[in-house]
Amino acid sequence: MAMVRPMSTLPGARRKLELFSPQTLARIGEFEVATAQDVKAAVEAARKAQPAWAALPFAKRAEYIQRAMQILLQKQDEYIEIVLRETGKARSEAIMMEVYACLDVMHYYSKRAEKILKPRKLKLHGVMSLLKKASVIYKPRGVVGVISPWNGPVILALNPTIQALMAGNTVVLKPSEVTPFSGKIVYDMLAEAGIPSGVMNIVLGDGETGAALTKADVDKIAFTGSVATGRKVAMACAEKLIPCTLELGGKDPMIVCEDADLDIAAAGAVVGSLMNTGHYCCGTERIYVVDSVADAFLEKVVERVKQMRQGDQGEYDVGAVFWEKQMDIIEAHMVDAVKKGAKVLIGGKRNAKLKGLYFEPTVITDLTHDMDIIREETFGPIVAILRVKDEEEALRMANDTRFGLGANVWSRDSEKASALACRIDSGSACVNDMTMTFGVPEAPFGGRKESGVGQVNGETGLRGYCHAQPIIVDRHGGKMILQHYPYTAKKDEDMKKAMQFFWGTTFGRWFS
């Protein structure tokens, strides 16, 4: 059983996939898998529409995004139902992640893209400043392929799409096969907002469709997903010599210092580990707590996890596991941990009271670094706690991983905690908060080690959807070029004297 299954189709017809609800296991729909031909056609439409879209003023492009924002506000309940049907996540999480965060991103970039992408004057140094003027202009790359995962099916499709569009690119979006109709919300909102035909395109499908997009005539791929697929995308982009951003998996550590406020830290551990059923790229996956406060911390965490309501109706805190493949990984990691000596304090198994795909909110301890639950991304509703001697040991263990997405440190001394956070080999880090950098659009976001390549969000992310083209203008109408040839011994001597002056004298070094 999976949440998405192949259907039999007539010979020559497009393949079809069936979708099943993780909440009820009932069939909820089907869709056709776009072929490589379909992808090619979508990219061609995007290519054709791109020059006119790029020629629009920022304010005009922003108008479409702002209109789509109003549609999202009006239709949020309808959209939330689509997300809940495909993912089974907690309703409040759908509102926070798939509506609130989307509105914030749409408004942030539509309001600020012009300022971030306006041409910049470069201040030149030394003798160059006497000879040349320079500026940088930000030109859209062209057609951007966006490939998105199932855990944040709207926001993770929308965030790169909005940035690419505001920068003047056109987009072909390929959402996950697990959540195709949630991903399609992004297309639907923009289409209803009247965005010109060909500017925003979508291809529904599976991995083959994603692979076809990486091989099509696109100018950049913005990929969010697993390390294994990220590697394939990077290889396809290398083959074509096009840039890509890879936002990949994580295994975020949390460090609880001796002087942490344990009530707050316990709450942070529970939110960080259970939010979005643990299917959160920056979810807290390993908690290192200093031994002297470990018992008190564990008690508080267990107490909080006991209060968690898991369900499929009404108000609840922890939703379903979004699909069977993830359930298999979670269960395998639990079995491996227990076999190697871990102790389950609460939860640890499927929730037998619910019909759908539910794993009980779990607290597990006595963990070691040879366990899969510590080495691999688990992506489940599990609070995994390890005792450490002191903060230095916590830091060493936090860095003992092939991942490097986020991290968080908890202490009453935020300066000390920040200093510790700076020493973690992660793309970003938070102090006294779960890792929520992705929700701060000003902050460049991206992974180190196997957690990714490149950064998204903020100025860095938005400019990544452009080619930064420097324009250098000669201050003297190009007259110096007349002096270039012939090369003579006298000119070589003059050059040597100039070098001695610029870098061999105090005044020269100051001026240069």
Strand 170-174 and strand 200-202: pairing?
A: parallel
DSSP letter for each residue of 184-202: HHHHHHHHHTTPPTTTEEE
Choosing from 79, 108, 150, 297, the residue that interacts with ligand NDP (CB under 6 A) is 150
149 vs 441, beta carbon nearer ligand NDP: 149
Cβ proximity of 7 and 17 under 8 Å: yes
User: Cα(406)–Cα(18) distance, rounded to whole angstroms?
Assistant: 35
* Identity at 320, one-letter amino acid code: A
> Stretches 246-254, 351-359, 414-422, 462-470: which one binds ligand NDP (CB under 6 A)?
246-254
Is 275 one of the binding residues for ligand NDP (CB under 6 A)? no
Q: Which residue is nearest to ligand NDP (CB)?
A: 210
Residue 370 structure tokens: 């040879």
**Which residues, 6 or more positions from 238, have their beta carbon under 8 angstroms from its beta carbon?**
none
Q: How far is the CB of 248 from ligand NDP (least distance, A)?
A: 5
> Stretches 69-77, 243-251, 337-345, 416-424: which one binds ligand NDP (CB under 6 A)?
243-251
Sign of CA dihedral 185, 191, 194, 200: positive
H helix or E strand, kind and range, residue 222: strand 220-224
User: Cα(106)–Cα(88) distance, rounded to whole angstroms?
Assistant: 25
Three-state DSSP class for residue 338: helix
Cβ proximity of 143 and 46 under 8 Å: yes
Cβ proximity of 318 and 306 under 8 Å: no
Cβ proximity of 254 and 410 under 8 Å: yes
Is 43 one of the binding residues for ligand NDP (CB under 6 A)? no
**What residues numbered 331-390 form the site for ligand NDP, per CB under 6 A?**
377
Is 233 one of the binding residues for ligand NDP (CB under 6 A)? yes
Is 248 one of the binding residues for ligand NDP (CB under 6 A)? yes
* E strand intervals along 310-352: 343-346
Is 3 one of the binding residues for ligand NDP (CB under 6 A)? no
Q: How far is the CB of 449 from ligand NDP (least distance, A)?
A: 12
The contact pattern for ligand NDP, residues 90-129, with x = CB under 6 A and - = no contact, is: ----------------------------------------
Residue 40 structure tokens: 């090619």
294 vs 398, beta carbon nearer ligand NDP: 398
Choosing from 88, 142, 149, 268, the residue that interacts with ligand NDP (CB under 6 A) is 149
Q: How far is the CB of 413 from ligand NDP (least distance, A)?
A: 30
Is 214 one of the binding residues for ligand NDP (CB under 6 A)? yes
**What residues numbered 386-425 form the site for ligand NDP, per CB under 6 A?**
405
19 vs 388, beta carbon nearer ligand NDP: 19
* Identity at 246, one-letter amino acid code: L
156 vs 364, beta carbon nearer ligand NDP: 156
H helix or E strand, kind and range, residue 485: none
Residue 55 structure tokens: 């020629």
- Cross-strand bridge partners of residue 19: 4, 29
Cβ proximity of 447 and 403 under 8 Å: yes
| Count of residues that interact with ligand NDP, criterion CB under 6 A | 32
Catalytic residue numbers? 247, 281
Three-state DSSP class for residue 472: strand
Is 144 one of the binding residues for ligand NDP (CB under 6 A)? no
The contact pattern for ligand NDP, residues 424-463, with x = CB under 6 A and - = no contact, is: -----------------------x----x-----------
> Stretches 221-229, 337-345, 414-422, 483-491: which one binds ligand NDP (CB under 6 A)?
221-229
Is 226 one of the binding residues for ligand NDP (CB under 6 A)? yes
Choosing from 198, 250, 441, 464, the residue that interacts with ligand NDP (CB under 6 A) is 250
Please choose, from the candidates 290, 263, 285, 265, the residue with its C-alpha nearest in 3D space to the C-alpha of residue 275: 285
Binding stretches for ligand NDP (CB under 6 A): 147-152, 156, 174-178, 206-207, 210-211, 214, 224-226, 229, 232-233, 247-250, 281, 377, 405, 447, 452
